[in-house]
């Protein structure tokens, strides 16, 4: 399984009291995000960081991975995709928590793009709510053919969420960011948000600061 060789970053303090899991985007791999952990260690000294490789290879890049295939031609592929990838991600999260001897409440999930789709889909359905979810440049996936109100009937937990998006994103348009906010509001999920000015499909320094401080607050460190 591709998860086996996922890069990890040990807690700065030497003892893991929280777990932060990074989920990369389509066509990238775990090395795309793991370095964020080094930037956040000053705020999260007791956090262990891990960035699993998505389980499937991506045909569009020689070393790229994907959580599920996307053609952007079939609206239903998002819903099929997150449900296809969710069981393996769930198993990984549970295994990592067990490895560190941590309860499920000490988990935070951070996604980018397709990784945000997975973070929101899985995080909102865990039996025990994660401490937090941070979603960069992504979207919540609704059941195909259903509106924002449908989310309320399927979620099992309501962790605090931070959504961050570039106002110049030409891959996941800002309109999808606003629709995600609306869906979470309809489901009464606590959500903060930040729109990054002049940023396309990426994460700028300000967005990283927002994410790190949000997690520190969620873990009760600030």
Per-residue model confidence as pLDDT tens digits over 20-38: 999 999 999 888 899 999 9
Tell whether the model's pLDDT for residue 3 goes beyond 60.
Answer: no
Instruction: Please provide the average confidence, as pLDDT, over all residues in the chain.
Output: 94
| Angle, helix 114-123 to helix 76-100, in steps of 10 degrees | 70
| Percentage of the chain modeled with pLDDT above 90 | 85
Residue reference for tokens 């962790």: 159
Q: Domains in the chain, please, with CATH?
A: 2-218 (3.40.50.1820)
Residue reference for tokens 């401080």: 213
Q: Which two tokens stand for residue 129?
A: 């709510």
- Contact predicate 211/162, CB 8 Å: yes
Q: Which two tokens stand for residue 130?
A: 């994660």
Q: Mean of the pLDDT values across residues 102-128?
A: 98
pLDDT tens by residue, 144-163: 888 888 899 999 999 999 99
Task: Give residue 1's pLDDT.
Answer: 39
pLDDT tens by residue, 167-214: 999 999 999 999 999 999 999 999 999 999 999 999 999 999 999 999
Residue reference for tokens 């952007």: 72
Question: Residues of 102-116 as b/e, b for ≥16 C-beta within 10 angstroms?
Answer: bebebbbbbbbbbbb
Tell me the three state secondary structure of residue 22.
strand
- Contact predicate 29/65, CB 8 Å: yes
Q: Mean of the pLDDT values across residues 4-33?
A: 93
For residue 196, list its beta bridge partners.
166
Q: How many residues does the chain have?
A: 222
Q: How confident is the model at residue 2 (pLDDT cuts 50, 70, 90)?
A: very low
CA distance 135 to 111: 5
CA distance 112 to 101: 27
Tell whether the model's pLDDT for residue 4 goes beyond 70.
Answer: no
Q: How confident is the model at residue 219 (pLDDT cuts 50, 70, 90)?
A: very high
């Amino acid at each position: 399984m591709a998860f086996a060789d996922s890069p990890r970053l040990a807690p700065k303090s030497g003892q893991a009291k929280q777990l932060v899991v990074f989920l990369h985007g389509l066509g990238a791999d775990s090395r795309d995000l793991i370095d964020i952990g080094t930037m956040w260690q000053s705020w999260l000294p007791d956090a262990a960081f891990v960035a699993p490789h998505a389980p499937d290879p991506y045909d569009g890049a020689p070393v790229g991975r994907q959580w599920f295939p996307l053609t952007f031609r079939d609206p239903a592929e998002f819903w099929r995709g997150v449900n296809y990838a969710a069981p393996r991600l769930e198993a990984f999260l549970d295994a990592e928590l067990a490895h560190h001897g941590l309860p499920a409440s000490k988990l935070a999930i951070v996604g980018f793009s397709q990784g945000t789709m997975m973070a929101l889909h899985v995080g909102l359905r865990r039996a025990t709510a994660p401490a937090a979810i941070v979603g960069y440049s992504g979207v919540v996936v609704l059941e195909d053919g259903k509106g924002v109100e449908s989310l309320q009937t399927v979620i099992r937990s309501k962790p605090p969420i931070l959504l961050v998006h570039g106002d110049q994103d030409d891959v996941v348009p800002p309109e999808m960011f606003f629709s995600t906010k609306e869906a979470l509001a309809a489901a009464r999920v606590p959500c903060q948000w930040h729109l990054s000015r002049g940023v396309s499909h990426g994460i700028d320094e300000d967005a990283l600061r927002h994410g790190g401080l949000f997690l520190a607050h969620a873990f009760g460190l600030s």
